[in-house]
Chains A and B, each alone.
Chain A
Amino acid sequence: MPAPDQHRIIFRHVDEPGYSTDLACYLRNGGYEVLRRAVKRRPEELIDEVKKSGLRGRGGAGFPCGVKWTLVDRKSGKPIYLVVNADESEPGTFKDRYIIHQDPHQLIEGSMITCFANKVERAYVYIRGEFPEGARILEKAIAEARAANLVGPNILGTGYGCEMYVHRGAGAYICGEETGLIESLEGKRPYPRIKPPYFPAVLGLYQCPTIVNNVETLCHVKHIADMGGEAFSKIGTPNNTGTRIYCVSGHVQRPGYYEFDVGRLTMGQLLYEVCGGPLPGRKFKAVIPGGSSAKVLRFGERFKGKRKVGAEMVEYDWGVEDVPMDFDSLGMVGSMGGSGGVIVMDDSVSMVEALGNINAFYSHESCGQCTPCREGSLWMKKITARMVHGDARAEDGALLKSVADQIAGRTICAFGEACAWPTQSFVAKFGDEFKAYAQARKEPGAEGAPELV
């Protein structure tokens, strides 16, 4: 079955010739109409729409957005904050970048609808420090929106007011973790908080109830408010509704960003049809489906089991190419949908060296607060660095797995899993390469293989 067409709801205007980031262009294209309609409704209705829509977070965890909004403490009388998580740092992910750089008003509109629905009066956009241009674009867009009373003390004359501020980060992946982000926003070191008791929905920014949502998720809120939650829930697949943007990078002919209905295409369709397949003369070897924190899938693996289709339990027997690109299916085969960053590796890649690259990233980004992640991530990096640049031992693969097992599940935040899963999955699925690495390094490389710098 051929791959479906892209369904560019969020990315409708991204890369459109002549489309610019100013308010006039956005208004010309029907912008802020949804906000106009939304502020005439009851806030609780909008929350209901989002719940009905089944929207799941697009930042990496895939947590149902409606449930997150329901958990907010509305009884304490404390102000409720919205934090827009624009700290897109997951390796392999580059979708929020384009929303911010090319269609910032969509984000602002989605955020304002979210604020109105949750009676938020102050929203902060935490944008990663490495997007200086994006921060400028966003600030300019917010200023334009404020001048048009779409943001500010009296939105569209309703009397409801919400301010929006851009806060630039300074280059740390851990500032994408929701409580790390909140700590950084408060001006402190981004040490994630222990949960319980510091759930952002109850004790978040300045110990007030806070909603932290990803950029893409908030853009979806705009479309849910537009078409209604039920219509949105019919897009995609049950429990994995709507569209999502897949960022494909690596060894494919046409890497890039593509927006599809969730779960309506398989990995094979995405990589072979949409992205044109492997580079000439190469074969796919491995793919990480959801940003580098997700577990790797090895081409040639088979996944067997039973899954629910409609009301029935149906057997499945999939190769990597057959896995539908939705949260649940990817979860079933032992990986995750994550942030949608699909990283493709072909047979020119040494998995040991690829893992070394990934471990270097995580050890550099570990905040250092808790023992297993702080020491374990650096230890794993030192092991793979030694394997690649020094003496590899046959037992290093097993040692890496053992160290990773001691990290996952024992840390304050999910960074422990994020740094452990790549190591665990690479060693589990390519263990033979790790064992043979010491010997393989001594032999001359294959013809045409890239030199390791």
Chain B
Amino acid sequence: MIQPATTDLITVHIDGKEVSVPKGTNMIEAARRVGIDVPHYCYHSKLSVVGNCRMCLVETGMPAVDPATKAPIIDPATGRQRVNWMPRPAIACATNAMPGLHVRTTSPLVKECREGVMEFLLVNHPLDCPICDQAGECKLQEQSAGYGRGYSRYIEQKNVKPKRTLLGPRVMLDDERCILCSRCIRFCKEIAKDDVLGFTDRGSYTTLTCYPGRRLKNNYSLNTVDICPVGALTSTDFRFKMRVWFLKQTASIDTESSVGANTRVWSREGTVYRITPRQNDGVNDTWMPDSGRVLYKAIRGEGRLESVRVNGTESALDFAVKAAAELLTKGGAAVVGSGRSSVEEQFLTRRLAAALKARAWLVSRVGEGDGLLISADRNPNVRGALVTGLIDALPSGGLDSLGALIDSGGVTSVVSVGEDLAAAGLSASQLAKVSVVYLGTDANATSAAAKVVVPTLTVFEKHGTFINQQFRIQRFARAVPGVAGATDDLVVLARLVGAVGGPILGADVGTLWSAIAAEVPALATMSYSSIPDTGLLIDGAPWAGLAFAEGPTLHYTPAAPAAKEAARV
């Protein structure tokens, strides 16, 4: 890749390889760029540097120059400038790029340093691997195998500290396993802004604990479990459930809010076991809220719809689609779409509304943003509805206007794509007045009142894309197959569109995108597979004047009101 000529790139030499890095880059990151792994525990790219594990010790040196003339001193053996290596190793995480800096990571001294630190970490570490959740993703295991001595010389008694202490409702602490890297303390203080963890006692008896009277219960507590390099902090939800090497990892998106935090869904044989964040430096760094991690429990939730029903009796999909089309084509149809639907589903919903010549509503969900990774807009994909043209203004006033039309007799049938109309504001009597076609995952007042019910899939069971608050389109993928009896939303929507007289469209994401790219101007140049893992920013200018409800989050600043005024004019 051709580096653009910028003035603040500094060239350093790592194990003889040259790498140009921006000013302020530390040597762990610089080494990563040339494929060299510098082992570490306490360093984390998103937290402050403390330099207390000492695992990243490397040799550093500067080129030798004659002190009087400043001329470079050439080593006759190699013909190159000699490097003065510092006798004392330096920590790579705290060594920032300087012009001419040389780093060695493979010398005998560095090897000794790593073996020494590894030995020291294992000296008081309990032999818990067989019962520890971290096995298979444990930095201690990986780095002792990669850089350790391989045998123990320790014959004394190991320190005993409190084991299985509940720090909070979701996090369990085992103090003996803790290597005192302080990542969790720094995370809670710097990122979650909830300074609740700290060390107590001294020396090798130092113990992690909550401050007196406090508990680790903020909505980002499980991130400490992610960043803990060992099994000291573990998730109470995932505790003892599954060994991580059996789990398949699938990229997904947190549907809690329009932040669109990137996630990773871990599943085995059709069951999801846990959700962790996926790194996206443009959206969520390496974090996600705790409340997004429990969303997978809805897959096997109690109210999960599992059979297609027409007028209360179990039926087949074809019959249900036919029955729904009959209800909807009588005239007076309304379409209620969802901000939780994917872009593809919203595209088809718009086709449905167009074919029915019906107006489309979107249910808005506005709550309080936490300034971090939950925004005020609790729908993940309102912008998808805007971009696909399903709606052209932000939803407001709930479903009042729909209720009024129902009361006046203007609307006699409603198709709801995943939204409970009663919860969205329609009264029981209004609901009783119309024929409802419900496509959704869970039983609710609407599905009970609906004439046609088609169970659909949760976000974990299908492919698709969402557009987040930054107008970034991001993909999510299927982690587990849908429950028996549920149909892919795209399949049922495409069939419905065809059944009510609209065009016949493909129902899988790949073929559907040819139609999307052709018809949606903002997505014109894309295909599903061309969207990178970290998403793609699309041009949000056409919607810049809308009064989005969100305040700032980790990587989003709302446009200034003045700019919005100007855009609106």
Contact = CB atoms under 8 A, between A and B. Distances in A.
Interface stretch (B71-79, B201-209, B277-285, B450-458): B201-209
Interface of A: 172, 189, 191, 194, 196-197, 363-372, 374-379, 382-383, 386, 399, 402, 406-407, 409-412
Interface residues of B, number: 37
A368 B88 contact: no
B202 A371 contact: no
B507 interface: no
Contacts of A407: 116
Interface string B171-205: 00000000110000000000000000011011111
Nearest to A191: B52
A379 B180 contact: no
A370 B153 CA distance: 20
Contacts of A410: 54, 57, 89, 113, 116-117
Contacts of A189: 198-199
B94 interface: yes
B254 interface: no
B53 A370 contact: yes
A368 B202 contact: yes
29 contacts: A189-B199, A194-B50, A196-B94, A197-B94, A363-B204, A364-B202, A365-B202, A367-B203, A368-B201, A368-B202, A368-B203, A368-B205, A368-B206, A369-B52, A371-B54, A371-B117, A371-B121, A372-B117, A374-B203, A375-B120, A378-B159, A378-B203, A382-B157, A406-B117, A406-B119, A406-B120, A410-B54, A410-B113, A412-B52
Interface of B: 49-55, 57, 87-89, 91, 94, 112-113, 116-117, 119-121, 123-124, 153-154, 156-157, 159, 179-180, 198-199, 201-206
Nearest to B121: A371
B276 to A, nearest CB: 27
A379 B203 CA distance: 12
B51 A194 contact: yes
A412 B124 CA distance: 20
Given A194-B91, A364-B203, A375-B204, 4 more contacts: A371-B53, A371-B121, A406-B120, A409-B88
A188 to B, nearest CB: 10
A290 to B, nearest CB: 21
A364 B156 CA distance: 17
Considering the complex of A and B, which 5 residue pairs feature the smallest CB-CB distances, nearest first?
Answer: A406-B116, A375-B120, A368-B206, A382-B156, A378-B204
Contact of A379 (B87, B113, B120, B205): B120
A366 B205 CA distance: 10
A104 B412 CA distance: 95
Contacts of B57: 410
A374 B202 CA distance: 9
Contacts of A366: 202-204
A50 to B, nearest CB: 27
Contacts of B53: 370-371
B121 to A, nearest CB: 6
A406 B149 CA distance: 13
Nearest to B109: A409
B154 to A, nearest CB: 7
